[in-house]
Amino acid sequence: MQLTLDIGNTRTKASFFKDNTLIKSSVIFFELESKWLDFFQSYPITRVIYSASGQISASLEKVLSSLEVPVLQLSINLSLPIAINYRSPNTLGMDRLANMCAAHLHHPKQSTLVIDAGTCVTYDFLERGRVYLGGMISPGLEMRLKAMNLLTERLPLVKSKKVPLIGTDTESCLQSGALHGLAAEIDGIINAYRMRFQSLNVILTGGDTNALQSLIKNHIFARPHLQAEGLNNVLLYNLAALENH
């Protein structure tokens, strides 16, 4: 059984795979070394890959280094199933890299646009399933709402909420502007890509997928566990490379 760990600033998402099949995924908040040891001993884990967008804790780092199974950290220095044609690869976020490796897994010979709707919205393009070219970074839902509050004197800070297109008070107008405005942006970006690239696949992932999915007019694939799938794809790719040498 493979384990992927997506390590953020406040939480870690753990996903278990049997070959390419996702078995279980959960969010954990362990800090103590003993908790991490109990976690790893509770499952028949045979290999691990992790991605650290946040600061990895000393306790987790210690436990990972003590495991008697292969442990990889995602980086551009690993063997990857895709080529990176990005001008500053050392600044590339590992979440974006994992998403591209998952796009290769699902569409190995076709071009794919991955839209990750989280704190920021990232648009990343994989050409013909093999070459990562780059993309875009745009403000996410919560960031748009916070910006309208912080950069004005009278607009309140409101929470993201699914509302009708036409807001009927200040709160719902802000919510509609952020939500429907972002959905319209996503549709516009997809249309622009489809004008340039035929047979384009589009994958939507990230925390705001549920809020946006029904508002996007273009055909998309929603994959909530895309980053974990990408991590697992890189893990299997590296293990296969080692076995062939």
CA 47 from centre of chain: 21
Cα(237)–Cα(140) distance, integer angstroms: 32
Judge contact between 164 and 155, C-beta under 8 A.
no
Task: Choose, from 6, 95, 116, 124, the residue flagged as catalytic.
Answer: 95
Identify the helix (H) or strand (E) that includes residue 171.
helix 170-196
Our answer to whether residue 187 is catalytic in this structure is: no
Contacts of 66-73 with CB under 8 Å at 24 or more apart are: 67/40, 69/45, 70/239, 71/47, 72/47, 72/48, 72/234, 72/235, 72/238, 73/49
| 3-class state of residue 93 by DSSP | coil
What residues act catalytically? Answer: 95
